[in-house]
Amino acid sequence: MKQLTFIFLFLTIHFSNVLAGGFNSVYSNDGSTVWAVGNNGLICYSNDGGQNWGSSIVGSLTHNSVFATNSNIIAVGNSGSIRVRLINGDFWSFIPTGLQNLNSVNFINDDTGWIVGDAGSIYITTDAGLTWNSQTSPVSENLNSVKMFSSNSGLACGNNGKVIYWNGTDWNVYSTSVSYNLLSVDKKNNTIIATAEDGIIIKSVDDGNNWSIINLKSEVKPNVTSVFMFDENIFYSCGGGGFIRKSIDGGSSFTFQENPMMGNLVDIYFYNSNQGWAVSSLNNAVLRTTNGGVNWLLSTGTTVNYSWSLKQSGSGNIGHGFCLHPFNKNAVFIAMGNKVFRSYNKGETWTQISTLSPGSKAHTFFVSSVDSNYMIASMDESAGKILRSTNYGLNWSVTWTGALTSYGMPLMADQTTPNQVYLNPDNSVLLKSTNWGLNWSSVGTKVFRSPDNITVAWENPDVIYIGDGVTGSGVAELFKTTNGGLNWTLVHTVSGSEIPFTVVSRLDPNLTYHSCWSSGGIWKSGNQWTSFNQAAATGNAWAVDIAKDDPTVVGYGVYGSTVYYSTNSGSTFASSSVGSSPEAGMLFYDRGTLLSQKGGGVYKMNINYNVPVVLENLQLTALVEGFYNSSIDQMTEDTITVFLRNSNSPYAAVDSAKAKLNTAGAGSYIFKNAVDGVNYFLQLRHRNALETWSKNALNFTGSLMNYNFTSDSAKAYGNNMIKYGSKWVLYVGDLNREGLIDGTDLSMVDNAISIFTSGYAIEDCNGDNIVDGSDGILVENNSSNFVGVLKP
């Protein structure tokens, strides 16, 4: 057994730019005090339930998990980092545990806790984190989450489907029969739930003996990063681009909770059935709820900025060219003009993989769901054609020719039925192919004018929608079939002449939206167009899409440069300009990843959260000997730096601020790294005054501290000040800052006098901008009295 001994290495904590870096874990042990830890040493603290936050950097290593007991806060992270701080303490201690990343920490009481990490590492403490002992692990895979329930009961999960359990003596392995990387685990009574990569949750209702898989059925297979259980039936999970799901029936069904996050969520924690928090590793906008997720809010003052970056230039963009890769969840295809591009990183970078020929403008493009070598595209308009490839776009053959819509998407692949595709030419009945476009047959007798789009419902290919209309002529109509196209019903007539897009959600089969051009805006139905309402009245609406990991998030673009997006089921929309037009296509890959196909190419939205840090304000009054004139009770203004020091040895600096003291000796100091209720010594440093400390360690209350050094000598540590008139002032004369006013300082003044030094000089001890005999007298008097620094 390896024992890790508590090392008293006290860390200097400094401020990093307003909450920059992202979080990996959040925890609260009382519902009011909340801790969040994250990348590059970031540790943040709220004492009002997550409404406002203070920020600090503790070391440079990433913190992966945080836990708070009644006595300590424990944060664990990369390269074996363990940080421990007393609840009311002023410093974080560092306990090195080797080179393995530590991923999760959990305690059962104030003294006993466990940590798990990479390569199957497990550690236990029984003395509140002062020492840690390694435990024998039954696995070598990375362990990502630990949840302990008593001294003889606990769980951990990790990569390759591993779930291990503690019986009070040793760790053992459950047989889960899955190979997914498991990211989070929880247990209530005999029910265990573990979340995984690729949109999967596994569950056991018999204490780990048997396991079942819950597939979240998302097209993009998002990571389900965190789970929190209230009982065997009620649990929350989060992940993907920011989704939060709640189940009240053990995972048989889910509701999506609307929230304002457009970025991955990696941890969710509830203090009770009402109070909860969730965090993202991409930003520091902490979500909080006080009503069990009915409403999720960002911390006070948080603002969101949206911008766009061109990721791949292109031309000839007239139809929706996006298509997801059937096997690689991070891969996306797009056809622009006569070129096909592929991205392996959700649209960040692109590579051209094929040239579509013959033809110049692709209106739609698809890759087979069963074989990515098979591709199909609709090309051009009056001389339209269907191109088919069986070798990943190396060669293309024409399988159909005829007149197609000038602006829309006349081709659609059935997402549910492999190799089945639909085509709707101008002035024609619907055509269907069951062999990936090689042969076509007519379906039904309904003749459409000039269809803009075909949409097949998820998991029910008999339900198909077609938006029909002629650009600039008459009104557009939305038709629906429930028998695969044999019969059609007109379900909606709009004021515009086209319905460019109709989209459906795999996560909510009843949910669908369509757009209208040039008037009519965006329409929404929650029951497959039995009834509907107008979600937005924006003119020239074109592309629309629903986030693939959360149906409460939807976006649309107009036939111009503006894109709109909603995180509350289309109740309200925010917007931003892409800088290119028109909007040809849109892919809402997940809540945090929005791609727009514009006239100039593929653009990706950048989302930045600006979270204000609560600043602590010190209202200081202090006077400096020589600069202070007691006869008029005024001081020559000058700058003093104040350091906040920990209240325990070795009194490490926590933060510092510099400000000018006015003629009354008053100054306002703003600290970005201090928090309410924690004690700090004040250390004053001036260009030539003796370093002076406050008598006691002091704390901020309500982000404010008032301290007056001038009213009593006892305000300084060791009563180390001198009285002028009725005021106590700082000694002047420690020019070299060695902590003692002596002959060396006097020599410095004498040298400056001999060369007629003037201006803002260290040797100018009375602030008159001239170094002369009056400065020398001040130094000489204090030197003869052997004045030096007194500090704890």
Residues of the chain with pLDDT > 70, as a percent, come to: 97
* Cα gap 432→425, rounded to integer Å: 11
Joined together, the tokens standing for residue 583 give 């909007």
* Adjacent-strand bridge partners of 689: 732
Fold of 3-301: Methylamine Dehydrogenase; Chain H (2.130.10)
Q: What is the pLDDT of residues 720-774, one digit of tens each?
A: 999 999 999 999 999 999 999 999 999 999 999 999 999 999 999 999 999 999 9
* Cα gap 540→671, rounded to integer Å: 50
Q: What is the pLDDT of residues 688-712, one digit of tens each?
A: 999 999 999 999 988 889 999 999 9
* Cα gap 387→377, rounded to integer Å: 5
How far lies 573's CA from each of 125, 512, 535, 597, in Å?
50, 17, 9, 20
* Adjacent-strand bridge partners of 685: 641
Q: What is the DSSP letter of 748?
A: H
The number of residues making up the chain comes to: 792
- Residue 7: its pLDDT value, please? 29
Residue bearing the bigger pLDDT, 4 or 449: 449
Stretch 527-539: mean pLDDT: 97
Residue 3 pLDDT grade (very low, low, confident, very high; cuts 50, 70, 90): very low
* Cα gap 26→267, rounded to integer Å: 7
* Adjacent-strand bridge partners of 564: 556, 575
Q: What is the pLDDT of residues 623-678, one digit of tens each?
A: 999 999 999 999 999 999 999 999 999 999 988 988 889 999 998 888 878 888 89
**How high does pLDDT run on average in the chain?**
94
> Residue 354: in which H helix or E strand, if any?
strand 351-355
**9: pLDDT strictly greater than 60:** no
**6: pLDDT strictly greater than 70:** no
The second-level CATH assignment, the architecture, of 616-784 is: Sandwich (2.60)
- Residue 89: its pLDDT value, please? 60
- Residue 617: its pLDDT value, please? 86
Joined together, the tokens standing for residue 599 give 């006239």
**Hey, is 724 helix, strand or coil?**
strand
* Cα gap 51→55, rounded to integer Å: 13
Least confident of 61-70, 96-105, 397-406, 501-510: 96-105
Residues in Cβ contact with 755 at an 8 Å cutoff, skipping those fewer than 6 apart:
none
> Is the pTM of the predicted complex or chain greater than 0.85?
no
At residue 698, what is the residue type?
L
Q: What is the pLDDT of residues 553-595, one digit of tens each?
A: 999 999 999 999 999 999 999 999 999 999 999 999 999 999 9
Q: What are phi and psi for residue 468, nearest 5 degrees?
A: -120, 135
- Residue 55: its pLDDT value, please? 80
Joined together, the tokens standing for residue 406 give 């000038």
**Hey, is 186 helix, strand or coil?**
strand
- Residue 91: its pLDDT value, please? 66
* Cα gap 669→703, rounded to integer Å: 12
E strands, 471-561, in order? 473-481, 489-493, 502-504, 512-515, 522-525, 533-536, 541-546, 554-558
Q: What is the DSSP letter of 484?
A: T
Q: What ranges do the domains of the chain cover?
A: 3-301, 306-610, 616-784
* Cα gap 754→761, rounded to integer Å: 14
Handedness of CA 167, 171, 177, 180 (dihedral sign): positive
Burial class (CB in 10 A: 0-12, 13-18, 19+), 452: buried
475 within 8 A of 493, measured Cβ to Cβ: yes
- Residue 472: its pLDDT value, please? 84
**5: pLDDT strictly greater than 80:** no
Stretch 171-175: mean pLDDT: 98
Q: What are phi and psi for residue 141, nearest 5 degrees?
A: -70, 160
The second-level CATH assignment, the architecture, of 306-610 is: 7 Propeller (2.130)
- Residue 19: its pLDDT value, please? 45
* Cα gap 769→760, rounded to integer Å: 6
**476: pLDDT strictly greater than 50:** yes
Fold match, 306-610 / 616-784:
no
First to last CA, the chain: 40
Stretch 36-64: mean pLDDT: 90
**13: pLDDT strictly greater than 90:** no
- Residue 781: its pLDDT value, please? 94
Omega prior to 134 cis, within 30 of 0 = no
Stretch 26-31: mean pLDDT: 96
Instruction: Tell me the DSSP string of 358-373.
Output: S-S-EEEEEE-SS-TT
In which residue are the tokens 């079942």 written?
212
CA angle, 281 as apex, 275 and 284 as ends, to 5°? 65
**287: pLDDT strictly greater than 90:** yes
* Cα gap 142→144, rounded to integer Å: 6
